[in-house]
Amino acid sequence: MLADKKKRTVEMIKRLKKAYPDAHCALNHTNAFELLIATILSAQCTDERVNIVTADLFRKYRGPKDLIEVSQAELEKDIHSTGFFRNKAKNIKAASQRLVEVYGGEIPRTMEEILTLGGVARKTANVVLGNAFGIASGVVVDTHVGRLSQRLGLSEQKTAEKIELDLQALVPKKDWIMFSHWLIYHGRQVCNARKPKCAECVLADICPSFAEFSSAS
C-alpha cells in the first residue's frame, strides 16, 4: 500500500515538475532575514500583499538591529495592512532581539535553533531553511499544500504537522523543498478551493478526487 502510494507520488512530482518549471518562493527577498520577516507577515495574508509591504519595509529596516530599535507602534503602522499586525510586530521584534543576542544577527541553520525565534513555527522554519539555505528540513504545509494533499490522497490528516509527516514519508527528500512550490502553483492555477479545473489537470487520471469534483463542475 505504502509502496503504491510512493510510486503514485513520484509520478505526480514528475508531472507537476514539468507543468510548473518556474515554480519558486512567491515572497520577495534578497537574504534569509528578509525571507524570515516576509514569512512571519504572510500568516493569514496573501503573498501579494506581503510583497507590497516589504518593498518599503526592507528599505527602511536593513537588519534585525533596526527592528529592535524601532518602536512597537511604528512597526505596527508599517505592517498594518498584513493583518494581525500587533502580534506580528511583537514576534518580529522578539525574533530580531534573539537573532542579535544569541546568533550574532545571523539566521541559524538548524530546525531546533530557528524554532526558538519569536513567531516561528515549522512552516516558517521550513520556508527559510529550504529557500534561503537549500536545507531540506521538512515540507512546507500551507493552505494550498494541505488542501491538495488531502484531495490527491496523500494524507487524511487535518493538521499541518501531521500532513507534513505523511508527505515526508511519501516524497523523496531531494524534492521536499520544491514539492510545496509545485503544489502551491497547482493549487492557485488549477486545483483551487472552490471550483477545481479538473478538465485541465495534469493529475486527473491519478487523482482519487477526480470523479467527485469533475462531476460537480
- As annotated, the active-site residues are 123, 142
Using CA atoms in the order 39, 45, 51, 52, what is the torsion angle rounded to 10 degrees? -140
**Close Cβ partners of 30 (under 8 Å, ≥ 6 residues apart):** 58
**Close Cβ partners of 111 (under 8 Å, ≥ 6 residues apart):** 122, 125, 129, 137, 138
Which string of b and e fits 27-64 if b means at least 16 CB within 10 Å? bebeebbbbbbbbbbbbebebeebbebbeebbeebebb
- Alpha-carbon gap, residue 131 to 75, rounded angstroms: 25
